[in-house]
Amino acid sequence: MNPLKAILVDDEKNNLINLEQLLKTYCPDVEVVAAAINAAEGKSAILQHRPELLFLDIQMPGKNGFELLQELNQYDFEVIFVTAHDQYAIQAVRFAAVDYLLKPVNIDELQAAVLRASARSREKRKNLQLENLIQLLQEQKEDHRIALTTMKETRFIRTTEIIRCESSNNYTIFFLAGGEKLTASRPIFEFEELLKSYGFIRCHQSHLVNRKYVKSWLKEDGGFLLLENGHQVPVSKNKKEVVAWALNQ
């Protein structure tokens, strides 16, 4: 099996040298064909070499990694973002279910990310996750989509279509406006972090609701939110003030 052609883009030369050495040592099925220290060089290298895998820093002087991707019209390669901890960047990447690595790069996480990218690349199809990320960056906030990874597929759902989320151990059940239910392979606290800026309220340890679908707040029996689809979702005592504040925004 031929190695994956990879390009590295990072404004720190030491980071490029370190990552290339890690790949050479621990990921022998990856061949680094070019390295670039800014977005312009990265774009040129991508167009010249047509890589199957791109390791991309997000925060760079001038144009950042997202802006580099937005300048490209074809996304037939996999991307692994390599970044220092940046909450906005990581939130956007998680929304799109695109892989990222935090600096300093952990070897086990690097190998796992390369393995996932290799499996997707071998399928020879368009990178839908990356296309979704580009669309996510370009759309208006209220029109954002979230990537939900289930046991069978990755679905791209607009946040406005999500009525509520319910915890099920380390999984999260999504109830959608059309009546469909999806079970995502991630715990609810991760989705709380992603969705809190889009009108979602954590009203209970096991429940997250979209404020736009709340019909009324029933105060009996400890308190329930009555939703437009008829569901009643409990409000825990320690969440009452948060819920009251959120519903009045």
Query: Whose CA is closest to 126, among 137, 134, 114?
Result: 134
Task: Convert the pLDDT of each residue in 13-46 to its tens digit.
Answer: 999 999 999 999 999 999 999 999 999 999 999 9
Report percent pLDDT > 70 for the chain: 85
Mean predicted confidence (pLDDT) in 189-194: 84
Which DSSP category does 159 fall into?
G
- Looking at domain 4-137, its CATH architecture is 3-Layer(aba) Sandwich (3.40)
Give the model's confidence band at 164: pLDDT under 50 very low, under 70 low, under 90 confident, else very high: very high
**Alpha-carbon span 32 to 20, nearest angstrom:** 7
Distances (CA, A) of 149 to 34, 118, 146, 154, 156: 32, 18, 10, 4, 9
What are the extents of the domains in the chain?
4-137, 144-247
CATH class given for the domain over 144-247: mainly beta
What's the chain's average pLDDT? 86
**Taking the complete model, does pTM exceed 0.95, yes or no?**
no
Amino acid at 177: A
